[in-house]
Chains A and B, each alone.
Chain A
Amino acid sequence: AQSVTQPDIHITVSEGASLELRCNYSYGATPYLFWYVQSPGQGLQLLLKYFSGDTLVQGIKGFEAEFKRSQSSFNLRKPSVHWSDAAEYFCAVGAKTSYDKVIFGPGTSLSVIP
Chain B
Amino acid sequence: DTAVSQTPKYLVTQMGNDKSIKCEQNLGHDTMYWYKQDSKKFLKIMFSYNNKELIINETVPNRFSPKSPDKAHLNLHINSLELGDSAVYFCASSQASGRSDEQYFGPGTRLTVT
Contacts and interface: CB of A to CB of B under 8 A. Distances in A.
Given A32-B100, A101-B45, 19 more contacts: A42-B108, A43-B92, A43-B105, A43-B107, A44-B90, A44-B103, A45-B105, A46-B103, A97-B99, A99-B48, A99-B55, A99-B56, A100-B97, A100-B99, A100-B100, A101-B99, A102-B98, A106-B40, A107-B42
B99 A102 contact: yes
Contact of B103 (A96, A97, A102): A102
Interface string A62-104: 0000000000000000000000000010100011110111111
Interface string A23-65: 0000000001010001001111110010100000000000000
B45 A102 contact: yes
A51 B48 contact: no
A3 interface: no
21 contacts: A32-B99, A34-B102, A43-B107, A44-B43, A44-B90, A44-B103, A44-B105, A45-B105, A90-B43, A94-B98, A94-B99, A95-B99, A99-B55, A100-B99, A100-B100, A101-B45, A101-B56, A104-B42, A104-B44, A106-B40, A107-B43
Contacts of B55: 99-100
A96 B99 contact: yes
Contacts of B66: none
Nearest to A106: B42
A109 B48 contact: no
B105 A101 contact: no
A43 B45 contact: no
B48 A94 contact: no
B76 to A, nearest CB: 15
Interface string B26-56: 0000000000000011111100100000011
